[in-house]
Structure 1
Amino acid sequence: MSDKPWIERFIEKGLFSSRWLMAPMYLGLVVALGMLVVVFVQELIHYVPLTLSMDADKGILAILSLIDLTLAANLMLIVLFSGYENFVSKLDIDDNEDKPEWMGKVDFSGLKMKLIASIVAISGIHLLKVFMELGKAPEGHVIDQAQLMWMVILHLTFVVSGVLLALMDWMAGKTDKH
């Protein structure tokens, strides 16, 4: 039995149990993942009939859109599984042969790195799509230079943030744990 007063034990148990308030948020992410699947299928249905009439650039843009949606879905799965396991409860699926190898092994630091890497990839693909569309702009079309500049700045901010996060994790790994 603990030497702590009953009120302290009660508060600590309440605080620990409050992690379950996150469970509905993770269930909401499952619904959002379903929404993303619907959007992906809509895009696919839109592009498939156009395949034979598309030039290479339009085909690449279509594929980049699908990759963008897939990366966003991967990001949601990483947040969903790792977040749930790190902050709510361990998933009891050890006997499942389909269990991804990384599940149960991604700590908060790894989650941050996977998250920023996914954001950088999504941002990079979106920026690539915009640059590809620039070459196909109709004559007389004015390019919004300010918007383009801010998109590049935002992407570089994500890249620098990722590098700084990796550097901080590396430095933290080199120090003695307290």
Structure 2
Amino acid sequence: MSDEIAKLEKKLRPLPRWLFMTRWLQAPLYIGLVVAQAVYVWQFWVELVHLIGMLSSKTPSETEIMLVVLGLIDVVMISNLLVMVIVGGWETFVSRLGLENHPDQPEWLSHVNAGVLKVKLATAIIGISSIHLLKTFINAASYDEKTLMWQTIIHITFVLSAIAIAYTEKIVASAKHH
């Protein structure tokens, strides 16, 4: 396999070969996202310790517990988003990961491309936005009407954008099949 790749690379003219190699400039960006994910793991544990600490110091209200738990879910969803961007982006734009037949290979990775990745990211962003909006509504007394309205409008904008992205991807995919 590597002999075939070497032969193919030798066939490429110098400029296209150089341009193709520039994809590796993205590697530090993905490594940086791995560091960002480590920060989210730290944030998760800090919030979890905070939740446990709440139980030892007083009896928290259901709302207080729910807000902390929603914060934990938010961190997990953002971490999931990071995994999609890191793994899917690397596979799509930098280099194949070579995970075929690996028992832990994510199902979605076998058919990932830029369009599929955009739709998955858009739906993940909607999930994250939903958690933020739910936290805001649970704690609505702490916010003014303008904040509530704008957070709702922004969430609806994310939903409509995701629908538009998914529809566009569907049109592109069906055009490729014809």
Q: TM-score, normalised by structure 1?
A: 0.85
Structure 1 vs Structure 2: percent identity of aligned residues? 38
Distance verdict in 2 for CA 1:39–1:95, change over 3 Å? same
Shift of the alpha carbon at 1:20? 0.3
Q: Counterparts of 1:1-178 in structure 2 under 5 Å? A: 9-51=13-55, 53-94=59-100, 96-135=102-141, 137=142, 143-176=143-176
Q: Secondary structure at the match of 1:102?
A: helix
Distance verdict in 2 for CA 1:43–1:160, change over 3 Å? same
Aligned residue number for residue 7 of structure 2: none
Distance verdict in 2 for CA 1:101–1:177, change over 3 Å? closer
Runs of at least 5 residues in structure 2 that lack an aligned partner in the other structure: 1-11
Deviates more, 1:126-135 or 1:86-95: 86-95
Contact 1:19 1:87 in 2 (8 A): yes
Distance verdict in 2 for CA 1:94–1:173, change over 3 Å? closer
Aligned residue number for residue 3 of structure 1: none
Q: TM-score, normalised by structure 2?
A: 0.85
Contact 1:123 1:155 in 2 (8 A): yes
Contact 1:68 1:125 in 2 (8 A): yes
- For 1:24 and 1:106, the matched residues in 2 are separated by 21
Shift of the alpha carbon at 1:95? 5.5
- For 1:38 and 1:162, the matched residues in 2 are separated by 30
Contact 1:85 1:104 in 2 (8 A): no
Shift of the alpha carbon at 1:10? 1.3
- For 2:80 and 2:64, the matched residues in 1 are separated by 24
- For 1:164 and 1:101, the matched residues in 2 are separated by 24
Aligned residue number for residue 9 of structure 2: none
- Number of equivalent positions: 165
Deviates more, 1:65-74 or 1:8-17: 8-17
- For 1:30 and 1:176, the matched residues in 2 are separated by 34
- For 1:41 and 1:98, the matched residues in 2 are separated by 25
Runs of at least 5 residues in structure 1 that lack an aligned partner in the other structure: 1-7, 138-142
Shift of the alpha carbon at 1:177? 6.1
Shift of the alpha carbon at 1:127? 0.7
- For 1:173 and 1:103, the matched residues in 2 are separated by 17
Shift of the alpha carbon at 1:166? 1.1
- For 2:165 and 2:104, the matched residues in 1 are separated by 31
